[in-house]
Amino acid sequence: ATINDKILAASAKHPQPGNVFQYGTAGFRMKADLLDSVVFRVGLLASLRSRKFGGQVIGVMITASHNPPEDNGVKLVDPFGEMLESSWEAYATRLANAKTDKELLAVYNKLEQDLDLGTNKTPKVIYARDTRASGSRLVGCLVDALEATGTEYTDYKLLTTPQLHYLVRCSNTKGTEYEYGDISEKGYYEKLANAFKLAVKHKKPQGPVTVDCANGVGGPKLRELIKYLDGTIDIRVVNDDVLKPENLNVSCGADYVKTNQRAPPSSKAGPLERCASLDGDADRIVYYFNGENDKFVLLDGDRIATLAASFLGELARQSGLAESLKIGVVQTAYANGAATQYVTSNLGLPVVCTATGVKHLHHAALQFDVGVYFEANGHGTVVFSHDAYKAINNHEPQSPAQANALETLKALSDLINQAVGDALSDLLLVEVILAHKGWSVKDWEDTYVDLPNRLVKVHVLLRSMFVTTDSERRLLEPAGLQATIDSLCGKYKAGRSFARASGTEDAVRVYAEAATRGEADDLAQKVANAVS
Ligand code: 16G
Ligand code: ZN
């Protein structure tokens, strides 16, 4: 049979359920029982994407991150370990929405023609999944597409999302000057653990860090990583029950902690104990602790970014590289105004604001030699440019102090996942920095005072009516609404607010911050009223 016949036959096993799908900021994501045809079709696109790159390896990750256990999702990983290039999201959407097998084949053949696929190298795909019960069935749908299209594939079974990104990058850079690491899960642990040990040196982290793994894939993977760390750090793993998939993300995990502004109810942490939570696929992390009078203190993505930027800035200066490394921070509109202020005024570093979604931040961060990017919700990493790697590796230190700082900087450039935000790598990064600075979580909190803020969700008739500009900070439409928001903000000290349509839910989100709790709540409510 021809490939076309095979696609038709395989597609018949995975009929389109009649829904309308869209490849969004986090790929396709919804109730798992709607996803069979979607995953099959993503398999077709992955194969095309690999052909487009002359047979380079493309990744497919089956996960729904922090969503409830009955959901699932799928996203593609580009050759350099980055998220799928935006222009291809539309092709994914087109394939997913073809109503019949024949229509699907027509869309597929048209893409084959239009995409100028060049050589006839065998396409290659690698894939993995999180711990959801539906994962293995969806893998079956994916494999049907890979078989039908004659695509070579490797099943990496259970992995965190960033581990798959790592493997894709390693696969495609092997033997080049961009070589990234050994193409195996073990290679990932070895790379992180070795870099961590080099970076902390004799500065052993003080006390334990308790890590809530959202009962997801991060649990077993963190336990594995710990084996490679040789006791250099005391990591206590909690919420790592993956045998009961119905517990995934339930009353625990980074999204629970960030949204509810509280520790998981199961937490037994005492005052000032260092805690962190991962999300369901371990690409996101937040820290927190119980402060004075049992006050919950969240150290979110903004805090991780400011901590990392401050330390990298110091290392660049101490190693004699301050002139050659342009360090910058990338945030979204959700970043607390106090964090932005701290970076520009205290650290003296530039800040860039982008639209929500990792791909936007990542892209902007690549404009710096050392680009620190984090969303407040804990997605993020630090990217080093090719020039930065060269500068770091070729620099001749002029003193023992320079040599020391340079060694740490080098180790961090290996510790930090360059492909995508990685909760396990970010965890070790924070631990290195706190150990070096000799800081407790309280010291970390004391670097600046967050402006009180409030996030509200507003249900509207048609969220597509809300058109933003200026990295989602201002509304172009509906006409007149921005002027109303501006005048509301003007009435509050340090008042700032914006409204944007959610990319993942049918709602408009309103963010507001101001000098006091009462004013922030009030401003949020008034803007929400204006929006609805
Ligand atoms: C997606 C994004 C996340 C962003 C969130 C915003 C990735 C991998 N994930 O989950 O970064 O914060 O969307 O959701 O890019 P919203 O549009 O509903 O506010
Ligand atoms: Zn995630």
What is the per-residue pLDDT across 417-474, written as a single tens digit (0 to 9) for each? 999 999 999 999 999 999 999 999 999 999 999 999 999 999 999 999 999 999 999 9
> What's the DSSP call for residue 342?
I
Confidence of residue 101 (pLDDT cuts 50, 70, 90): very high
Q: Which atom of ligand 1 is nearest to the CA of 66?
A: 10
CA–centroid distance, 400 to ligand 1, in Å, is 44
CA–centroid distance, 500 to ligand 1, in Å, is 12
The set of residues, in sequence order, having a beta carbon less than 8 Å from that of 191 and lying 6+ positions away, is 181, 182, 414
Ligand 1 within 6 A of CB of 230 = no
The set of residues, in sequence order, having a beta carbon less than 8 Å from that of 338 and lying 6+ positions away, is 448, 449, 450, 451
Domain identity same for 276 and 257: yes
Domain identity same for 472 and 330: no
Ligand nearest to the CA of 248: 2
Cα-Cα end-to-end distance for the chain = 56
- Dump pLDDT digits (tens) for 160-188: 999 999 999 999 999 999 999 999 999 99
Query: What per-residue string of b and e applies to 299-317 under the rule 16 or more CB within 10 Å gives b?
Result: bbbbbbbbbbbbbbbbbbe
Ligand 1 within 6 A of CB of 377 = yes
CA angle 455, 460, 465 (to 5 degrees): 100
Domain identity same for 70 and 98: yes
Residue 408 lies in a domain: yes
Based on the residue annotation, tell me whether 319 is a catalytic residue of this protein.
no
Helices (H), 71-217: 86-97, 101-114, 135-148, 161-173, 185-200
Domain boundary among 298, 315, 330: 298
CA–centroid distance, 377 to ligand 1, in Å, is 9
Domain identity same for 418 and 380: yes
- Dump pLDDT digits (tens) for 363-394: 999 999 999 999 999 999 999 999 999 999 99
Ligand nearest to the CA of 332: 1
Residue 165 lies in a domain: no
Residue-level pLDDT at 505? 86
| Model confidence at 331: pLDDT above 90 | yes
Domain identity same for 293 and 438: no
What CATH number is associated with residue 208?
A: 3.40.120.10
Q: Which atom of ligand 1 is nearest to the CA of 379?
A: 11
Domain identity same for 317 and 275: no
Confidence of residue 150 (pLDDT cuts 50, 70, 90): very high
Considering only CA atoms, which residue is closest to atom 5 of ligand 1?
357
Antiparallel, parallel or unpaired: β 508-513 and 453-458:
antiparallel
Considering only CA atoms, which residue is closest to atom 3 of ligand 1?
357
From the candidates 50, 65, 134, 471, which is the catalytic residue? 65
Domain identity same for 78 and 118: yes
The set of residues, in sequence order, having a beta carbon less than 8 Å from that of 369 and lying 6+ positions away, is 324, 325, 326, 327, 384, 385, 387, 388, 391
Residue 167 lies in a domain: no
Residue-level pLDDT at 86? 92
Check residue 175 and give left, alpha or beta (phi > 0: left; psi -120 to 50: alpha): left
Antiparallel, parallel or unpaired: β 380-384 and 370-374:
antiparallel
Element (H or E) spanning 331, and its range?
A: strand 327-332
Task: Answer yes or no: is the ipTM higher than 0.95.
Answer: yes
Domain boundary among 158, 176, 202: 158
Spatial distance between the Cα atoms of 215 and 3, rounded to a whole number of angstroms: 41
Domain identity same for 143 and 202: no
| Tally of structural domains, the chain | 4
Q: Which domain holds residue 474?
A: 453-531
CA–centroid distance, 206 to ligand 2, in Å, is 28
Residue 498 lies in a domain: yes
Beta bridge partners of 24: 27
Ligand 1 within 6 A of CB of 290 = no
The set of residues, in sequence order, having a beta carbon less than 8 Å from that of 176 and lying 6+ positions away, is none
Domain identity same for 273 and 226: yes
Percent of the chain with pLDDT over 90: 96
What is the mean pLDDT of the segment spanning 4-17? 98
Domain boundary among 445, 467, 496: 445
Residue 163 lies in a domain: no
Residue 356 lies in a domain: yes
Domain identity same for 424 and 516: no
Residue to probe by mutation, ligand 1, list 22, 258, 356, most atoms within 8 Å of CB = 356
What CATH number is associated with residue 486?
A: 3.30.310.50
Residue-level pLDDT at 420? 96
Residue 175 lies in a domain: no
Residue 331 lies in a domain: yes
Considering only CA atoms, which residue is closest to atom 4 of ligand 1?
357
Contact predicate 329/372, CB 8 Å:
yes
Residue to probe by mutation, ligand 1, list 379, 422, 460, 471, most atoms within 8 Å of CB = 379
Ligand nearest to the CA of 379: 1
Matching residue, tokens 């790379």: 191
Tell me which residue of 444, 187, 172 sits closest to 297, measured CA to CA: 444
| Model confidence at 26: pLDDT above 90 | no
Domain identity same for 198 and 122: no
Residue-level pLDDT at 234? 98
Contact predicate 39/74, CB 8 Å:
yes
Tell me the three state secondary structure of residue 297: strand
Domain identity same for 414 and 354: yes
**Which two structure tokens, joined as six digits, stand for 319?**
């190693």
- For every residue of 475-492, DSSP letters joined together read EEESTTHHHHHHHHHHTS
Ligand nearest to the CA of 280: 2
| Model confidence at 118: pLDDT above 80 | no
Q: What is the mean pLDDT of the chain?
A: 97
CA–centroid distance, 88 to ligand 1, in Å, is 18
Considering only CA atoms, which residue is closest to atom 19 of ligand 1?
502
Spatial distance between the Cα atoms of 253 and 251, rounded to a whole number of angstroms: 7
Residue-level pLDDT at 60? 98
